[in-house]
Structure 1
Amino acid sequence: MPDKDFWNSRYVEKNTGWDLGLVSPPLVWMVEAGWLPPGSRVLIPGAGRCYEGIYLAGLGYSVTAVDFAPEAAREARENAEKNGVSLSVLEQDLFLMDPKVTGTFDILFEQTCFCAIDPERRVHYKEMAERMIRKGGELLGLFYAHGREGGPPWTTTEEEVRALFGESFDFSECAITPHSVDSRKGEELMVRLIRR
């Protein structure tokens, strides 16, 4: 299973083919559609270079970005500074986040983190989301349903997402989005899940 050193080396080598170099268009659509109430406290796991976090911080959201790869965290901080925004970048394992922040987030935004986690550990992602999102808060984002063998990125399905999160979340949205970049058209499930 890919570990911190594996992912850190990908950033050091600039071998980050998943990185769009810009904010994911479906997130922009979600914001414009009013899915993220103004002033929300947003958690972005596996944030990488943090384009989404920088975009949201620039709109006044309180953003906490988490990545366990030191190079990713360093670049996220640099990008935030270059863009003149303030956000918190934590260099740590998202499965081991400080219990003090449990239940403090209004929104967890998922973007290319879930697909980077070995499918056998996806239940740990679900448990992390349950801990971090307050009751009534939401998990918003994209799940990569590319349908190809192997990984990372590992694929998922709508059925898997519904089965995994259904015990703790109500589904407001879970469907392929028309707002993806061309290289991901038809392969991203846009989700809006409400924490019970």
Structure 2
Amino acid sequence: MRMSKDFWENRWENNQIGWDLGEVSPPIKAFIDQLNNKKSFILVPGCGNAYEAEYLFENGFQNTYIVEIADAAIQSFKKRYPQFPAAHIIHGDFFDLDRKFDLIIEQTFFCAIPPAQRLDYVKKVKSILNPKGKLVGLLFNRFFVKGPPYGGTVAEYESYFEKDFEIQIMEPAKNSIEPRDGSELFIKLQLK
């Protein structure tokens, strides 16, 4: 069973948000910096403080959307970055989305999903990506004693994605922040 809305609200209200870097993760920033199509529809799911969405929007990607289940996270983002379009802030469950996107940015959302539900994530990503759409971001390349976060391995991730996605990149991230150095995989997957 997925973590409940109350679980995530509690984490935010008690400032138990150790995944929050306070900035865009360097591997994702480097990817965004080479993007050209400013008209792309982009989603950052389970966005938390949504540094990636803020960076995208500031760099001209006006069709950037976020989805977050925890109201406290949404309010934190709105307070920190009030110029982000309210219509692009989706307060709800990622698994209930029915919009289409060209690109989904993965940053500490997949790792919050219990492994037994990861195929649900893959199916949902497949259903909301436009043809040839991409899933790009970071996955943990290690295990954790107790989750979330939940880690995994390259072989495990390949087993989830290879049927429906061309795995263009799935390799150790070269520019992770120091505490995560050596434990993150950068992924770039394109819908077949």
* TM-score above 0.5: yes
Contact 2:78 2:84 in 1 (8 A): no
The answer for the alignment partner of 2:124 in structure 1 is 128
Contact 2:50 2:66 in 1 (8 A): yes
Deviation at 1:36, TM superposition (A): 5.8
- When normalised by structure 1's length, the TM-score is 0.91
Q: What's the secondary structure of 1:19's corresponding residue?
A: coil
Which ranges of structure 2 fall in alignment gaps of 5 or more residues? Answer: none
Paired-residue identity, %: 31
> What CA RMSD, in Å, does the superposition of the two structures yield over aligned residues?
1.4
The answer for the alignment partner of 2:65 in structure 1 is 64
The correspondence for 1:179, drawn from 167, 175, 191, is: 175
Deviations 1:59-114 (A, max 9, x none): 11111100111111121222221xx34361111111111x3x1xx21100000000
For 1:140 and 1:36, the matched residues in 2 are separated by: 15
Contact 1:30 1:36 in 2 (8 A): no
Q: Structure 1's 179 and 37: CA in aligned 2 closer, same or farther, altered over 3 A?
A: farther
Deviations 1:9-40 (A, max 9, x none): 111111111100111111111123x2563322
Contact 2:46 2:109 in 1 (8 A): yes
Deviations 1:94-136 (A, max 9, x none): 1111x3x1xx211000000000011111111101100111111
Amino acid in structure 1 at the alignment position of 2:58: G
Which ranges of structure 1 fall in alignment gaps of 5 or more residues? Answer: none
Contact 1:77 1:89 in 2 (8 A): no
What is the 5 A alignment of 1:1-196? 2-32=3-33, 34-35=34-35, 37-61=37-61, 62-81=63-82, 84-86=83-85, 88-97=88-97, 99=98, 101=99, 104-196=100-192
| Matched positions, count | 189
Q: What's the secondary structure of 2:133's corresponding residue?
A: strand
